[in-house]
């Protein structure tokens, strides 16, 4: 669905996100997030609550109802901001974004 | 993951009444049960703390846990009477079909004796079986298009013939083979429509009123006969005409032939659906019901798990009204406990003396029951502005779609889910369960967000009755009239006409309403005595909605009501609350900025002990997005019905650009309709009195309750809510 493609011009927006993963965004960053967050459902990154509000594990959604969510072994987070930053960078690379 | 899940036969029971508990093991070997009063279900470390308390009641000891199956898939079942079907020798079956999914073999019609089955094979080709004989056509059916299938058996000629005919009368293909029906003596003859058996060979798509004749007919003759259904009953060769356009409100399937071989629907397929002769002549099935001759079946329809009862609980006669749960602890592991939540309502005869009522929005809980927004819908993360969090309930739901859907899903064929039910486990209707949409912080939704309110009531020692939407629907104002004050939940979005009339009537007659939510009183729903525990919603034009019901199908089957927004039905929420749905976003919330109207003497009681300087930020904290105004928000709009005397005490002045204008407001889309740009995207805090001596305090924000619970309920939002409740609870 998404038309926008990430280019080198977007690197400042990546820095903007990494500074603060929550809250108000510049229009440029919002456009990138719309692309990233609209991906899926197959392979979509999600975070699995292992201990409520304390520990999360990275996971990916399956293609269809009834199939299990896959857990990415060894990738855990102890706060939501860390999870947001890590997934942002994974998606940035997946979408061909330049080095940040 | 979950090892035991369960449900009860009701979400509301009075003291002394009996509740049935139905459980199924998903790995558990045994379980114990106890009764608990649920007070506060949010487990966020900065929240007021999870709180429930045991009720002394012996629910028995250890019980074995056993697996109970769920068989999704809707169908029609008909039993023969007077051997009308059993005596058939030669016959013709004519049935228009419109498949919407064509993977795997799917049964359209099954006559058990002599073993006739009309089906679509795994390649989408129509076929017929008669005993051991199988006949297939070469042309595949086209998804979403009507085709008349005519299958006939000539006993004398020993032939089986199958034809596919287009609605324009073009014979697409005819196949023929030799076959002779062989009766199975001593077996009851049954008809199944849209399934071979429960859970087997389910058809996705529309089937239009099958007709059975007792002699072979050529396909165009059969088509001519079907085109004039009103004349069929006088035809001596008619065996059955299952006229789906009759009795559409319920589960009965009427045979319009003189034989009266009536049947029933199972698992609530969609009725009052446009049939093969509908071409836009009429948009309301009550006007030309004969054009609504189709039923839309889904292999994943599921409104009744149908589990047998494990045990019953007789509630103590002196049990106080409130939120409760029958807690099932599998294998002595409390971390795996499953909670069957319900309300203990006041006694049916006689009052408790409580003058405050919490209206538990169970219709909205059902609308969201087992919702899969974070699983099925990629765009959910865009609207949340955060990663999707999956807890073990969501992970279980992902692997068990047989638990059925909410109004937020589409069926596997892409059509909307019109029905939701409490006759099944509802995993998210438990304390401690996280949501997808609840905002940065607690991230809880609906029931759990509402426990911020019940926790607050408990914290302040306020005695109150709890009644559910279903109680309200059935008893109306006769139930509400005993109270001085009614408090809503955080998101009372789905309302039947009876519910809306009751709350409006309460306010019109001097009742005081505290609307503690956002996007309330938005969608119209229907209950039906013919479908206990099920609600229907058809999301017609406008509204934030994941699907539309399809052209001509905007009227509910249960009642005939025009579905969709109350705003489009002449009953905008402004009439009741002074507010109307403005926008939604699920990342962060905002404070209100107080206005000059906050200093109006009429608002003195609201601001007792609270700084009301104009321009001051009020409620800049909370567990739901860190502000009191957020998630789903409502604004006052005098052009849309906000009473002119309403005081707008405060307004949120900005939201992130996740927040967008609603479709009903976005008549002409322009690129300035987001939270940082558009004045209409705001939450207004409103107070007004009514002519009948009533009064309304409306927060217009789902996040409000999360602010009430902030700092152990010690904050200005909590204080303001208490100021209002205390004044409203004073008579006069």
Helix (H) / strand (E) containing A33? helix A27-37
Cα-based angle B219, B221, B225 (whole degrees, multiple of 5): 115
Question: Given CB atoms, is A76 within the 8 Å cutoff of chain B?
Answer: no
B48 within domain boundaries = no
pLDDT digits (tens, 9 = 90+) for B6-64: 999 999 999 999 999 999 999 999 999 999 999 999 999 999 999 999 999 999 999 99
Looking at B344, B368, B399, the residue that finishes a domain is B344
Question: Given CB atoms, is A51 within the 8 Å cutoff of chain B?
Answer: no
pLDDT digits (tens, 9 = 90+) for A27-62: 999 999 999 999 989 999 999 999 999 999 999 999
Question: Given CB atoms, is A84 within the 8 Å cutoff of chain B?
Answer: yes
Closest CB from A38, A52, A83 relative to B379: A38
The distance of B400 to chain A (nearest Cα, Å) reads 6
B167 within domain boundaries = yes
What is the rounded CA–CA span in Å between residue B324 and residue B39?
A: 8
B352 within domain boundaries = no
Residues 6+ apart with CB under 8 A from B455: B39, B40, B42, B48, B51, B709, B713
For the cut 90, the answer to whether the pLDDT of residue A1 exceeds it is: no
Residues of A whose CB is below 8 A from B377: 41
Q: Inter-chain contact B398–A68, Cβ cutoff 8 Å?
A: yes
Residue B615: CB atoms within 10 A of its CB come to 11
Report whether B472 contacts B479 (CB < 8 A). yes
Q: What pLDDT score does B113 carry? A: 85
Q: What pLDDT score does B477 carry? A: 98
Tell me, letter by letter, the H, E, C secondary structure of B478-525.
Answer: HHHCCCCEEECCCCCCEECHHHHHHHHHHHHCCCEEEECCCCCCCEEC
Q: Inter-chain contact B388–A46, Cβ cutoff 8 Å?
A: yes
Domain CATH number, residue B60: 2.60.40.1930
Residue B298: CB atoms within 10 A of its CB come to 28
The distance of A38 to chain B (nearest Cα, Å) reads 5
Residue B311 sits in the same domain as residue B245: no
For the cut 80, the answer to whether the pLDDT of residue B492 exceeds it is: yes
A100 within domain boundaries = no
What is the rounded CA–CA span in Å between residue B523 and residue B506?
A: 20
Residues of B whose CB is below 8 A from A75: none
Distances in Å between the Cα of B452 and the Cα atoms of B88, B198, B606 are 64, 42, 20
The sign of the torsion formed by the CA atoms of B276, B280, B281, B285 equals: positive
Pick from B635, B647, B645: which is nearest to B596 by CA? B647
**Mean pLDDT, residues B92-102 taken together:** 97
Pick from B123, B126, B124: which is nearest to B109 by CA? B126
Nearest chain A residue to B44, by CA:
A53
Question: Given CB atoms, is A74 within the 8 Å cutoff of chain B?
Answer: no
A42 or B87: which leads in pLDDT:
A42
A3 within domain boundaries = no
Residue B280 sits in the same domain as residue B423: no
Residue B313 sits in the same domain as residue B369: no
For the cut 70, the answer to whether the pLDDT of residue B732 exceeds it is: no
The distance of A89 to chain B (nearest Cα, Å) reads 13
Q: Is B189 in a helix, a strand, or coil?
A: coil
Q: Inter-chain contact A68–B388, Cβ cutoff 8 Å?
A: no
Q: CA Rg, chain B, in Å? A: 28
Distances in Å between the Cα of B35 and the Cα atoms of B43, B54, B321 are 20, 6, 14
What is the rounded CA–CA span in Å between residue B568 and residue B565?
A: 5
Residue B116 sits in the same domain as residue B61: no
What is the rounded CA–CA span in Å between residue B566 and residue B523?
A: 6
Question: Given CB atoms, is A32 within the 8 Å cutoff of chain B?
Answer: no
For the cut 90, the answer to whether the pLDDT of residue B185 exceeds it is: no
Q: Inter-chain contact B376–A41, Cβ cutoff 8 Å?
A: yes
Residue B344: CB atoms within 10 A of its CB come to 25
Q: What pLDDT score does B187 carry? A: 78
Total domains in the fold of chain A: 1
Closest CB from A49, A61, A83 relative to B375: A61
Question: Given CB atoms, is A34 within the 8 Å cutoff of chain B?
Answer: yes
Half-sphere exposure of B315 (CA within 13 A, CB side): 29
Q: Inter-chain contact A59–B440, Cβ cutoff 8 Å?
A: no
Tell me, letter by letter, the H, E, C secondary structure of B33-60.
Answer: EEEEEEEECCCCCCCCCCEEEEECCCCC
Q: Is A12 in a helix, a strand, or coil?
A: helix
The distance of B367 to chain A (nearest Cα, Å) reads 20
Residue B237: CB atoms within 10 A of its CB come to 14
Residues of A whose CB is below 8 A from B399: 66-68
What is the edge-to-edge ordering of all strands in the sheet holding B534-536? B419-421, B534-536, B526-527
Residue B693 sits in the same domain as residue B630: yes
Percent pLDDT > 90 in chain B is 96
Q: What pLDDT score does B1 carry? A: 85
Residues 6+ apart with CB under 8 A from B192: B75, B76, B77, B78, B107, B109, B110, B112
pLDDT digits (tens, 9 = 90+) for B655-664: 999 999 999 9
Residues of A whose CB is below 8 A from B375: 41, 61, 65
Q: Inter-chain contact A47–B43, Cβ cutoff 8 Å?
A: no
The distance of B392 to chain A (nearest Cα, Å) reads 7
Domain that holds residue A19: 8-94
Confidence of residue B181 (pLDDT cuts 50, 70, 90): confident
Residue B275 sits in the same domain as residue B340: no
Question: Given CB atoms, is A35 within the 8 Å cutoff of chain B?
Answer: no
Residue B315 sits in the same domain as residue B270: no
B457 within domain boundaries = yes
What is the rounded CA–CA span in Å between residue B268 and residue B261?
A: 20
Q: Inter-chain contact B390–A49, Cβ cutoff 8 Å?
A: yes
For the cut 60, the answer to whether the pLDDT of residue A70 exceeds it is: yes
Class of residue B576 by CB neighbours under 10 A (exposed 0-12, middle 13-18, buried 19+): buried
Residue pairs between chains A and B whose CB atoms are closer than 8 Å? 94
β-bridge pairing B419-421 and B684-689: unpaired
Total domains in the fold of chain B: 3
**Mean pLDDT, residues B511-525 taken together:** 98
Residue B326 sits in the same domain as residue B237: no
Q: What pLDDT score does B188 carry? A: 85
Give chain B's contact residues with A (Cβ, < 8 Å). Answer: 43-45, 372, 374-379, 381-382, 385-392, 395, 398-401, 412, 432, 434, 440, 587-588, 656-657, 676
Q: Which residue has the tokens 């992130």?
A: B656
What is the rounded CA–CA span in Å between residue B501 and residue B571?
A: 10
Q: What pLDDT score does B186 carry? A: 72
The distance of A36 to chain B (nearest Cα, Å) reads 8
Tell me, letter by letter, the H, E, C secondary structure of B331-342.
Answer: CCCHHHCEEEEE
Question: Given CB atoms, is A62 within the 8 Å cutoff of chain B?
Answer: yes
Q: What pLDDT score does B432 carry? A: 95
Tokens of B635: 């604004």
pLDDT digits (tens, 9 = 90+) for B202-243: 999 999 999 999 999 999 999 999 999 999 999 999 999 999
Secondary structure letter of residue B441 according to DSSP: B
Provide DSSP, B682-694. --EEEEEE-TTS-
Q: What pLDDT score does B470 carry? A: 98
Residue B131 sits in the same domain as residue B96: yes
Domain CATH number, residue B156: 2.60.120.200
B100 within domain boundaries = yes
Domain that holds residue B91: 75-297
Interface test with B, best of A42, A46, A48 (most B CBs within 10 A): A46
Centroid of chain to Cα B422: 9
Question: Given CB atoms, is A65 within the 8 Å cutoff of chain B?
Answer: yes
Q: What is the mean pLDDT of chain B?
A: 97
Residues of A whose CB is below 8 A from B392: 49
A80 within domain boundaries = yes
**Mean pLDDT, residues B462-469 taken together:** 98
Pick from B285, B234, B243: which is nearest to B263 by CA? B243
Q: Inter-chain contact B387–A87, Cβ cutoff 8 Å?
A: yes
Q: What pLDDT score does B530 carry? A: 96
A2 within domain boundaries = no
Q: Inter-chain contact B381–A37, Cβ cutoff 8 Å?
A: yes
B50 within domain boundaries = no
Residue B317 sits in the same domain as residue B393: no
Confidence of residue B460 (pLDDT cuts 50, 70, 90): very high
Q: CA Rg, chain A, in Å? A: 14
**Mean pLDDT, residues B589-604 taken together:** 98
Residue B337 sits in the same domain as residue B380: no
A65 within domain boundaries = yes
Q: Is B674 in a helix, a strand, or coil?
A: strand
Q: What pLDDT score does B589 carry? A: 98
Nearest chain B residue to A61, by CA:
B375
Residues of A whose CB is below 8 A from B43: 52-53
Residues of B whose CB is below 8 A from A24: 656-657, 676
Distances in Å between the Cα of A22 and the Cα atoms of B224, B277, B438, B674, B702 are 65, 54, 15, 17, 19
Biggest alpha carbon distance in chain B?
A: 94
Q: Is the peptide bond before A41 cis (omega within 30 degrees of 0)?
A: yes
Pick from B372, B110, B453, B387: which is nearest to B263 by CA? B110
Confidence of residue B675 (pLDDT cuts 50, 70, 90): very high
Q: Give phi and psi for B673, each to the nearest 5.
A: -110, 40
The distance of A27 to chain B (nearest Cα, Å) reads 9
Residue B337 sits in the same domain as residue B402: no
Provide DSSP, B580-604. EEEEE-SS--BPEEE-GGGGSGGGT
Centroid of chain to Cα B309: 23
Report whether B374 contacts B433 (CB < 8 A). no
């Amino acid at each position: 669905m998404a038309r926008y493609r990430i280019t080198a011009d977007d690197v400042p927006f990546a820095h903007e996100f990494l500074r603060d993963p929550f809250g108000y965004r510049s229009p440029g960053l919002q456009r990138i997030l719309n692309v990233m967050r609209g991906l899926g459902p197959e392979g979509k990154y999600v975070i699995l609550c292992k201990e409520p509000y304390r520990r999360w594990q990275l996971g990916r959604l399956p293609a269809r109802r009834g199939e299990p969510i896959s857990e990415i072994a060894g990738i855990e987070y102890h706060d939501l901001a860390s999870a947001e930053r890590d997934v942002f960078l994974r998606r940035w690379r997946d979408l061909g974004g330049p080095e940040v | 993951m979950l090892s035991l899940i369960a449900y009860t036969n009701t979400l509301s029971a009075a003291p002394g009444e009996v509740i049935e508990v139905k459980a199924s093991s998903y790995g558990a070997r045994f379980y114990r049960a106890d009764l608990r009063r649920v007070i506060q279900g949010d487990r966020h470390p900065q929240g007021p703390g999870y709180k429930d308390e045991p009720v002394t009641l012996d629910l028995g000891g250890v019980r074995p846990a056993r697996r109970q199956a769920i068989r999704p898939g809707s169908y029609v079942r008909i039993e023969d009477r007077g051997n009308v079907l059993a005596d058939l020798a030669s016959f013709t079956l004519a049935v228009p079909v419109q498949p919407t999914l064509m993977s795997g073999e799917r049964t359209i019609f099954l006559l058990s004796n002599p073993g006739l089955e009309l089906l679509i094979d795994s390649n989408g080709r129509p076929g017929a079986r008669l005993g051991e004989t199988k006949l297939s056509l070469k042309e595949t059916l086209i998804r979403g298009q009507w085709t008349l299938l005519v299958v006939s058996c000539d006993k004398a000629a020993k032939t089986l013939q199958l034809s596919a005919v287009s609605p324009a009368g073009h014979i697409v293909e005819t196949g023929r083979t030799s076959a002779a029906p062989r009766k199975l003596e001593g077996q009851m003859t049954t008809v199944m429509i849209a399934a071979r058996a429960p859970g087997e060979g389910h058809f996705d798509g529309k089937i239009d009123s099958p007709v059975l004749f007792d002699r072979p007919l050529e396909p165009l003759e059969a088509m001519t006969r079907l085109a004039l259904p009103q004349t069929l009953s006088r035809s001596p060769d008619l065996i059955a005409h299952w006229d789906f356009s009759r009795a559409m409100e319920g589960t009965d399937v009427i045979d319009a032939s003189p034989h009266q071989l009536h049947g029933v629907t199972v698992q609530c397929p969609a009725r009052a659906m446009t049939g093969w002769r509908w071409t836009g002549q009429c948009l309301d099935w009550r006007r030309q019901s004969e054009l609504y001759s189709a039923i839309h079946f889904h292999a994943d329809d599921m409104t009744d798990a149908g589990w047998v009862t494990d045990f019953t609980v007789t509630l103590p006669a002196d049990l106080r009204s409130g939120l409760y749960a029958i807690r099932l602890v599998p294998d002595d592991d409390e971390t795996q406990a499953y909670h069957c939540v319900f309300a203990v309502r006041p006694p049916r005869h006689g009052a408790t003396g409580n003058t405050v009522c919490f209206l538990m929005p169970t219709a909205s809980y059902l609308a969201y029951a087992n919702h899969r927004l974070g699983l099925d819908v990629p765009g959910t993360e865009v609207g949340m502005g955060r990663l999707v969090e999956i807890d073990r309930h969501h992970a279980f739901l992902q692997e068990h779609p047989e638990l059925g859907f909410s109004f937020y899903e589409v069926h596997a064929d892409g059509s909307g889910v019109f029905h939701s039910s409490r006759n099944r486990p509802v995993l998210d209707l438990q304390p401690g369960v996280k949501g997808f949409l609840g905002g940065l912080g607690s991230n809880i939704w609906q029931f759990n967000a509402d426990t911020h309110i019940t926790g607050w009531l408990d914290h302040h020692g306020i005695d109150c009755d709890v009644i559910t939407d279903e109680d309200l629907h059935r008893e109306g104002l006769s139930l509400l009239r005993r109270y001085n004050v009614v408090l809503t939940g955080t998101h009372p979005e789905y309302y039947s006409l009876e519910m809306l009339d009751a709350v409006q009537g309460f306010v019109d007659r001097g009742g005081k309403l505290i609307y503690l939510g956002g996007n309330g009183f938005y969608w119209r729903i229907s209950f039906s005595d013919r479908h206990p525990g099920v609600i229907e919603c058809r999301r017609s034009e406008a509204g934030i909605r994941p699907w539309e019901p399809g052209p001509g199908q905007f009227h509910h089957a249960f009642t005939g009501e025009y579905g969709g927004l109350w705003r489009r039905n002449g009953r905008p929420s402004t009439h009741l609350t002074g507010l109307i749905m403005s926008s939604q976003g699920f990342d962060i919330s905002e404070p209100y900025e107080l206005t000059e109207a906050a200093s109006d003497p009429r608002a003195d009681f609201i601001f007792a002990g609270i700084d009301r300087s104009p321009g001051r930020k009020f409620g800049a904290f909370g567990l739901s997005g860190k502000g009191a105004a957020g998630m789903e928000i409502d604004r006052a709009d005098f052009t849309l019905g906000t009473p002119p005397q309403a005081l707008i005490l405060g307004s949120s002045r900005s939201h992130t650009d996740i927040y967008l204008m609603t479709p009903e407001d976005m008549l002409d889309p322009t690129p300035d309709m987001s939270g940082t740009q558009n004045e209409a995207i705001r939450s207004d805090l409103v107070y007004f009195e009514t002519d009948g001596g009533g009064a309304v305090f409306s927060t217009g924000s789902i996040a409000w309750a999360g602010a009430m619970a902030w700092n152990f309920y010690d904050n200005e939002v909590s204080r303001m809510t208490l100021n209002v409740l205390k004044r409203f609870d004073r008579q006069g």
